[in-house]
Amino acid sequence: MSLNQAHHPGTDGVVLFYGERLLIFYDGCDVKLGAPIKGDFCGRIYLTSHRVVFIANRKSSGVQSFSMPFVNMKEVNIQQPVFGANRIVGRIRADPNGGWQGEAEFSITFKRGGAIEFGRALIELGKRASNIRRAFQPPPAYTPMGGAAQYYNCPPPAYAPPQGDPYYGFVPQHEAFSVPP
């Protein structure tokens, strides 16, 4: 998660990465963040193809926006209390250079509805992100080659310029704009 890096300062619009798509958004969401950030915020929440982005209504609180990539989220659940609005809860890990460090709990309450749709889409996209992350395994460790016999000279260039040709690279001059008729 990164703090105050997901919004455009002039228009308060969400900043999307190259290839990222905005899927759904909801107004009137309350977000509660646990320690070390600690705070309650109200604003608009966006679900993109790569992350959840929140833009706060009040900019005076220190937190103007935050971004939660799917790969940094865990223990995400949809809660439906008998009395009260539906909410999504979970834990989020900090991004490198994200403005904070550690791990925090989050709770997103949807006062105007939409928690079930948002939560289902979030969980499905999170599963896809974790499957893709597993598919890209790191390459094997580097093992140096032994012995000098393993090294070879570079091959000669495939198209070497002709040697001693006085006309190689010569371009005859011509009139770009001829005399008008």
Tell me the domain boundaries of the chain. 2-134
Q: Which residue has the tokens 């939560």?
A: 119
138 exposure class (CB count in 10 Å sphere: 0-12, 13-18, 19+): exposed
* 89-125 exposure pattern, b = at least 16 Cβ within 10 A, e = fewer: bbebbbbeebebeeebebebbbbeebbeebbeebbeb
pTM score: 0.66
Q: Tell me, what's the pLDDT at 60?
A: 60
How large a percentage of the chain has pLDDT more than 70?
66
Q: Is the pLDDT of residue 11 over 80?
A: no
Q: Tell me, what's the pLDDT at 22?
A: 83
Q: Are strands 73-79 and 87-93 parallel, antiparallel or unpaired?
A: antiparallel
State the Cα–Cα distance between residues 65 and 114, nearest whole angstrom.
20
Reported as a single tens digit per residue, the pLDDT across 79-105 is: 888 888 888 899 888 877 777 778 888
Averaged pLDDT score across all residues of the chain: 76
Amino acid in the structure at residue 127: K
Reported as a single tens digit per residue, the pLDDT across 46-85 is: 888 888 888 888 766 677 778 888 888 888 888 888 888 8
Reported as a single tens digit per residue, the pLDDT across 95-133 is: 777 777 788 888 988 888 888 888 888 888 888 777 766
Q: Which CATH class is domain 2-134?
A: mainly beta
| 25 closest CA partner among 12, 14, 39, 10 | 14
State the Cα–Cα distance between residues 26 and 88, nearest whole angstrom.
13
